[in-house]
Amino acid sequence: MAGEFDELRARLEAISEELADLAIARLRDSIDAGGTELPIDERRLTRARRAVEKAAGLLRDEPDEYGGSA
């Protein structure tokens, strides 16, 4: 069973990185345009990235916080 979800986890981690890159691009665009507040879509991208990171973490082969395996 070990490594059963490695490919899926790796894809989720890649998606997480893409979401982070998009969020950074939105921040740069906002700064370049003279914005002083976080763009709303940057917040959505960050929330989505965190959710994807959590999903990837659940697929790791490490025991979860309750002592079972993930």
**Per residue of the chain (70 residues), what is the pLDDT tens digit?**
457 899 999 999 999 999 999 999 999 988 888 887 778 888 899 999 999 999 999 998 665 555 555 4
For 10-15, which contacts have Cβ atoms below 8 Å and span 24 or more sequence positions?
12/52, 12/53, 12/55, 12/56, 12/59, 13/53, 13/56, 15/52
Q: Where are the domains of the chain?
A: 1-59
Q: How far is CA 33 from the centre of its chain?
A: 26
* pTM of the full structure: 0.75
